[in-house]
Structure 1
Amino acid sequence: MKKPIFLILIGIGVLILVGGIVFVVPWFGRMMEEMDQIHAQQEEHRRALEASAREPLTADQETLLSQLLEAAAETDASQSSNDLETVLSSEPYLTYLKTQEEQDYADFPAYIDAMPTDTMKTVAIARIKAMLGEDKTDEELIIWLNYYFVVREWGTTVENPLDNIKELHELQQTHLIEPLMENGSELSSFSIAIVQLSTSPTSITEDNNVFQEVWRERLETHGEPEGLLRCAVASPVEFALMRSFFADMAAFQAWILKPPEPEAQNSEK
């Protein structure tokens, strides 16, 4: 090979290397910055959500709880957690739900069937923005909203989303990636998209974990039926959403009482 050609090839190689450094290194740096920012947002979101979930009952909520406990005693709801839905279908609780939803429901099962309600969707959108930032278009928010509820329900069936990569990939592809691509979402913020895709499953299922932990403590402290009734009064919208993911109240209660994984227990200490 003649020397000039050899030098040209070396020059091309150097250009490729420099080009890679120029484009890849800044891209990687932006991705790491985005990851740090999103993790910080998620930590802040979790702390705020847990603080909200742990708020003590107000005086009005305590009064409602007393009424529900009286109704539970009359229906002997302590014999079966499924009978609790009869108590939650009583007039005091349905009136309480109307203050949360500004809508009438015939009974508690009807409220479950309506999930996710507009109120729950509004809450979820606020959480998505808190976790992922405010830069989503309305169309993208609708896609992320659907994905959020799909992951919330799926999260009740797995211990750790990252231990079920194949299922997770299929879920992301079907409910997030393909809809976003069909929507024509820009890939200019590709690094952000990668970080959000990688962190979103754990951050979304963490919402489940927060309420499960708080509700488990209430059940262990107050027993049945008071523990479940306290959960239903303290977080009515979230309680109904989570209940909608299960076949009946008994299955829902079993999930609440399921002990956390050893790693989760250690991290809580």
Structure 2
Amino acid sequence: MERNPRISQKLLYRLSMIYMLFCAFVGHLSTLADPADVFEENLSSLKALEVIEKKHKVALKKRISVPLDESAQKCLKQLLSISGTLDEVLSSQPYLTYLEAQFGNVYEDYSKFLAAMPTAKLKTEALFTFKDALPPKQTSEEFQAWIKYYFQMRQFYSVPDIFNDRQKYMAMQMRIQSQLLMTFGIPVTTIASTETAMTKAEKMALLANVDKILNRSRILSRLASVDTKVYHAFWSDRLKKYGLYEGLLRCAIATPADFGLTRSFFQNTEVLKKWILTPLKKPASATEKEK
């Protein structure tokens, strides 16, 4: 997967303008619907989303909080006896053998494992997590689009300081959502110019389609946010409890797939380590002082 992009001011402006045009058009379409119906539907969707999010968070915390089993303990002991950087130690035979047992694939070294992210197993697990939020009749291409979107959001939420920089947050989210809409045949960049050429029936059909896609994307986005926060808290706790080096090894052993996925978003382990040790969201007072 590509590493975290740096957003230029020019790109921020361009994305903002495209998104404003899109929102203006969708806002116009929404006036064709009954406001009371829209409010009730949105409220119902929000409540359902909160239930899904809470259930997923509880299940994830329970799954990753189990103690290391015998094979994991053996792997940890072996890795602690090997000298080198984290990536070098994770490229050693004991860990590669551990990965093979976990995923059924042979990796030449740790960099090959990172290059394979997200793995087929990780994609399948992700799809199983959110498949109930999608319509049952989805084409293979549509499922792949949702899987891609979920992992894009995982990378998005791993951008350092993303929860504290609203401008960067909005710009990057707009870009990802625009790509998703275009994947489903909604050309965001040309929506404004097609407004006057559409009949009322066509506008209503487009509004319904956009609403469905964005509502589903909201669920996947929230789940990606939960996953990022839960893993971040778990890894941070391990580093504080066992020290930086052993803590990172424990993270790589206890959660090999998601640790590898997140590691693939960063240039090196030093940047990853800094991200793990830094709170995802600063206290409101700290953010205000910086402004």
Into which bin does the TM-score normalised by the smaller protein fall?
A: 0.7 to 0.9
Deviation at 1:254, TM superposition (A): 1.1
Aligned partners of 2:141, 2:79: CA distance in 1, in Å? 41
Q: Mean alpha-carbon deviation: is it higher for 161-170 or for 118-127? A: 161-170
Residue identity opposite 1:90 in structure 2 = S
8 Å contact kept, 2:53–2:223: yes
Match in the other structure for 2:97: 95
Match in the other structure for 1:16: none
8 Å contact kept, 1:31–1:195: no
Residue identity opposite 1:169 in structure 2 = M
Determine if the alignment matches structure 1 residue 216 to structure 2 residue 236.
yes
8 Å contact kept, 1:148–1:204: yes
RMSD: 2.8
Determine if the alignment matches structure 1 residue 168 to structure 2 residue 173.
yes
Residue identity opposite 1:216 in structure 2 = S
Aligned partners of 1:162, 1:224: CA distance in 2, in Å? 27
Deviation at 1:188, TM superposition (A): 4.7
Select the structure of larger CA radius of gyration. Answer: 1
Aligned partners of 1:22, 1:168: CA distance in 2, in Å? 26
Deviation at 1:180, TM superposition (A): 1.5
Deviation at 1:196, TM superposition (A): 3.1
Residue identity opposite 1:31 in structure 2 = N
Q: 1:159 aligns with which of 155, 158, 162?
A: 162
Three-state SS of the structure 1 residue aligned to 2:118 is: coil
Tell which has more relative contact order, 1 or 2 (C-alpha 8 A, sep 6+): 2
Deviation at 1:32, TM superposition (A): 2.1
Match in the other structure for 1:123: 125
With structure 1 as the length reference, what TM-score do the two structures score?
0.77
In 2 relative to 1, CA 43–135 (structure 1 residues): closer, same or farther, beyond 3 Å? farther
Match in the other structure for 1:233: 253
Long gaps (5+) in structure 2? 1-30, 188-204, 285-291
Deviation at 1:127, TM superposition (A): 2.5
8 Å contact kept, 1:31–1:191: no
Aligned partners of 2:260, 2:36: CA distance in 1, in Å? 47
Q: 2:109 aligns with which of 107, 110, 123?
A: 107
Residue identity opposite 1:177 in structure 2 = L
Determine if the alignment matches structure 1 residue 70 to structure 2 residue 81.
yes
Three-state SS of the structure 2 residue aligned to 1:160 is: helix
Q: 2:182 aligns with which of 178, 183, 203?
A: 178
Q: Mean alpha-carbon deviation: is it higher for 98-107 or for 185-194? A: 185-194
Aligned partners of 1:95, 1:182: CA distance in 2, in Å? 45
Three-state SS of the structure 2 residue aligned to 1:55 is: coil
Match in the other structure for 1:17: none
Q: Between the two proteins, what is the percent identity of the paired residues? A: 30
Deviation at 1:70, TM superposition (A): 1.3
In 2 relative to 1, CA 40–161 (structure 1 residues): closer, same or farther, beyond 3 Å? farther
Long gaps (5+) in structure 1? 1-19, 78-82, 265-269
